[in-house]
Structure 1
Amino acid sequence: MSDRRSEQSSGDEPSSPSAIPDEVWEQFIRDSERDIRTSAPKEPSARARQVAGQLKGRQEPEGWRTGPAWREMDGRADRRRKLWAVLGLPVAVAVALVAVRPSLIPGDPFGSASGVDTATSQLPAETAAPTAAPSAVAADTPTLAHPFAGSPALRWADGAAGIVLPKATALGSIPKDRVELALGQTKKLLVGANLDPEVVAGARPDAALAVLDPRQPRVLDELDTALRHPSKAHDPLSLFSRFDPEDVMPAGKVVKTRGRITFAKGRFGGVAVHADFTFVYPVVPVDGSGEVARTIVRRIVDTELPDPVRYRVTPGRLTLVRYLEDAGNSACDVDDGFLHPQFPSQAPTGSAAPSGPSVDPYDRSRKIGEGPEGCGTVSRT
């Protein structure tokens, strides 16, 4: 991920992430050799917000080409801001782990490259809603070489490979190819909003915006406002995953992904698609400390590809019906349009201290967009 923010068209190839500076590796080794470093509990955070968009058709004489009276996206007053704090391991534990497991040092200088990230089999694709949180995994400290150590996401698929589309079938009079188009466009939206390296680094999500119908009133205008002038009322994080490249950079090239997509006949004569996915982003600060933190973002997105004969829509473009977001380990009450992970060595900052119940951000069986407002805690990152 580059340290620059730039706009690029949907057809541009995202640039490769910049290399980790030498200072990062040197500082990491120096920190590992110190045994007097003060440990501090993690104080990550999360936000949950809900934006609902629903459509309403209007009746016209039979045979007329009509357009739906689209309702504007609402529910913004029901935005929930949560600070998720995680129980941290003392840095002394990390030092001890490096002492007994040299492969945890970035680059594996002792040639013992048998780290946890390569020794674990991948989970099969998710085909049904989970009924419980993932099982506990052995405590392990994430490093630049193994950014998913100690995380259930270690066994998840990498990036877009985790967005597995179901087999398309006809829905009554709706042909199979329309279903395939709706599924494919929804995957493009998810990838462009959450996995494009340039977008995650703060660039404009042109590829994601390109699949949305410009004839759906106010939706693209509101998203554009959120991207250009982020605020509490207009937050791009409700649909897009973005980090400030002046603060953090990716710990490697992989974002872990897990979830599922289903489809059914929609309310507007088209194909309705329901997507529920969790993305795990490992990052390091740009200050060269080499410390790794993970932010976990879960998204539920409902789209529809309406019938272009019955409704005044742009053929092939998606209508955005509803989207929900829940993020673990991102600073509470910061409305600059970026996710702000906290790192293990950071002391709590800000006025929002953790006060709510502990939540597992990897638990895909729980509902999101519900529960009390305010700041809470997470059990792991």
Structure 2
Amino acid sequence: MPIVDEPGPRPDDPFENLVLDEDFVRGADVKEQSGRSRMLAARWKQQPPDPEPWRASADRVPARRSRFGRRPKPVDPWGRRRKRNWQTPVFVVLAAAVTLAALNVDRLNGWYEGRQESSALPPVAPETASPTAAPPAVDPDTPTADHPWAGSPAEAWPSGANGIELPAAQALGVFDRTQVAAQLKAVKDYLVLAHLDPATTAGGTPAAALALLDRKDRTELEAALAHPTAEHDPVVWLSRFDPRLAVPVTEVVKVLGRTTFESDGDRGMLVHTDYTYVYALRPGPDVGRAPASPAAGATARPVGWTTAGGDVRVEREIVRRQQDFRFYNPARYQVQRGKLVLDKGQSAFGNNVCTMGSGYLVTSFPESAEDDGPSGAPTGGPTTDPYDRRTPLEEGDGSCGALSRT
């Protein structure tokens, strides 16, 4: 019977502590090809592969139309469908539009305000010279809060500050081109703040307009605002309405006119402005208040203040102003830099009561208790068209005339 030898010492096993984990596989120096790789390698020894990709992209092979006229959808070399990036061009166009609007916001605002009311009349551009033709006739129509310019040639006029277009600046006398441009801009700023700013037209204190005037003119205007009289009425300088008597139905004011400037020799420069402003207003709460009423504080509104549809009737006040501004030569005169000096001025108020001195423009509403005749009621004066700008204003005797239209 064979005898089994006793086992000797066990030799060292180099793989005893070896762990076949992911790190071992990843760190292998020699990697075995897959079965598919070996098969393809053997096949390519006999028949080399085509150097072109197995699936050509749409931009390398001309697209062919299918039976129904559709084009094959573009794909990349891996066969995935290409997505067209339409967002980028859209964002570029929107960004350009926003930038242009921000750079020209004033004109954009004027365009929008002008579109709020469609007009059958062709648009009227700001004046560059004195007009030679009468304003066009317009079919009479009753203005309302929704259509405040109906039946008025002002419907086609520019809106707000867009109607005050400054001439091109140029060196003049003692002032260079930059100084002339700054002085023209200061004049426009004053006209906007004094006649177009909603805070001013609604009867507020025109602090911003006052700040642009030199000390003497500002003191005189502040005194007229504090204690208005027939001889010193602030409406000579400003367009403002008492909210108890007249309320603007829109912040839009129609404006037509022109600005010119000329040298005044060694004295400096003169700027001439001639503009007509048209305001649309409705009666305020205290217009037509009955002296005695059954109910305290009740108001009596005549039937004539409403239209056939029940809307509150709107009246327009047409104010034409010719105002000169003087800029003195700082080498010869003591001047306040950047401040305006008022020179000669004339104003005409169409559809305003004849009595002045309240510190406000008082619009004439039909059958109003305060209506002692608009500056246009038949009180012996001539009949005029308040929209006609062909002739300059002349200093009158203070009497009221008749208006051909408002």
TM-score (norm 1): 0.65
In the aligned structure 2, how far is the partner of 1:376 from the partner of 1:127?
29
> Structure 1 residue 317 and structure 2 residue 342: aligned?
no
Corresponding residue for 2:276? 278
**Structure 1: gaps (5+ residues):** 1-113
- Residue 372 and residue 213 in structure 1: after superposition, are their counterparts in 2 closer, same or farther (change >3 A)? closer
> Structure 1 residue 129 and structure 2 residue 130: aligned?
yes
Partner amino acid, structure 2, of 1:134: P
Q: 2:365·2:371 contact (CA, 8 Å) conserved in 1?
A: no
- Residue 292 and residue 192 in structure 1: after superposition, are their counterparts in 2 closer, same or farther (change >3 A)? same
Find the partner of 2:402 among 364, 374, 377. Answer: 377
Q: 1:302-359 CA distances to partner (integer Å, 9 max, x unpaired)? A: 1122222221111121211112111101111132111111224548843886221101
Q: 2:140·2:151 contact (CA, 8 Å) conserved in 1?
A: yes
Bigger-Rg structure (1/2): 2
Q: 1:23-53 CA distances to partner (integer Å, 9 max, x unpaired)? A: xxxxxxxxxxxxxxxxxxxxxxxxxxxxxxx
Corresponding residue for 2:22? none
SS for the counterpart of 1:166 is: coil
1:265 to partner: Cα distance: 1.1
Corresponding residue for 2:323? 301
Find the partner of 1:221 among 219, 222, 235. Answer: 219
1:174 to partner: Cα distance: 2.2
Corresponding residue for 1:355? 380
Give 1:203-214 correspondences, 5 Å limit.
Answer: 203-214=204-215
Corresponding residue for 2:110? none
- Residue 346 and residue 358 in structure 1: after superposition, are their counterparts in 2 closer, same or farther (change >3 A)? same
Q: 1:182·1:304 contact (CA, 8 Å) conserved in 2?
A: no
In the aligned structure 1, how far is the partner of 2:394 from the partner of 2:226?
25
Corresponding residue for 1:146? 147
In the aligned structure 2, how far is the partner of 1:211 from the partner of 1:116?
33
Q: 1:32-77 CA distances to partner (integer Å, 9 max, x unpaired)? A: xxxxxxxxxxxxxxxxxxxxxxxxxxxxxxxxxxxxxxxxxxxxxx
Corresponding residue for 2:202? 201
- Residue 191 and residue 347 in structure 1: after superposition, are their counterparts in 2 closer, same or farther (change >3 A)? same
Give 1:241-280 correspondences, 5 Å limit.
Answer: 241-280=239-278
Partner amino acid, structure 1, of 2:331: V
Q: 2:174·2:266 contact (CA, 8 Å) conserved in 1?
A: no
Q: Percent identity?
A: 45
Corresponding residue for 2:237? 239
In the aligned structure 2, how far is the partner of 1:368 from the partner of 1:376?
14
Find the partner of 2:353 among 331, 350, 367. Answer: 331
Corresponding residue for 1:367? 392
SS for the counterpart of 1:117 is: coil
**Structure 2: gaps (5+ residues):** 1-114, 286-300, 307-311
- Residue 253 and residue 221 in structure 1: after superposition, are their counterparts in 2 closer, same or farther (change >3 A)? closer
- Residue 117 and residue 372 in structure 1: after superposition, are their counterparts in 2 closer, same or farther (change >3 A)? farther
1:207 to partner: Cα distance: 1.7
Q: CA RMSD in A?
A: 2.2
Aligned length: 265
1:369 to partner: Cα distance: 3.0
Q: 1:249·1:285 contact (CA, 8 Å) conserved in 2?
A: yes
1:121 to partner: Cα distance: 3.7
In the aligned structure 1, how far is the partner of 2:221 from the partner of 2:202?
17
In the aligned structure 1, how far is the partner of 2:256 from the partner of 2:184?
17
1:226 to partner: Cα distance: 0.6
Partner amino acid, structure 2, of 1:226: A
Corresponding residue for 2:179? 178
In the aligned structure 1, how far is the partner of 2:365 from the partner of 2:351?
9
In the aligned structure 2, how far is the partner of 1:212 from the partner of 1:148?
33
In the aligned structure 1, how far is the partner of 2:193 from the partner of 2:333?
26
1:162 to partner: Cα distance: 0.4
Corresponding residue for 2:167? 166
Partner amino acid, structure 2, of 1:359: T
Partner amino acid, structure 2, of 1:182: Q
In the aligned structure 2, how far is the partner of 1:115 from the partner of 1:332?
33
Partner amino acid, structure 2, of 1:343: F
Partner amino acid, structure 2, of 1:146: H
Corresponding residue for 2:188? 187
Q: 2:157·2:254 contact (CA, 8 Å) conserved in 1?
A: yes
- Residue 373 and residue 285 in structure 1: after superposition, are their counterparts in 2 closer, same or farther (change >3 A)? closer
- Residue 353 and residue 134 in structure 1: after superposition, are their counterparts in 2 closer, same or farther (change >3 A)? closer
In the aligned structure 2, how far is the partner of 1:303 from the partner of 1:235?
19
Partner amino acid, structure 1, of 2:339: R
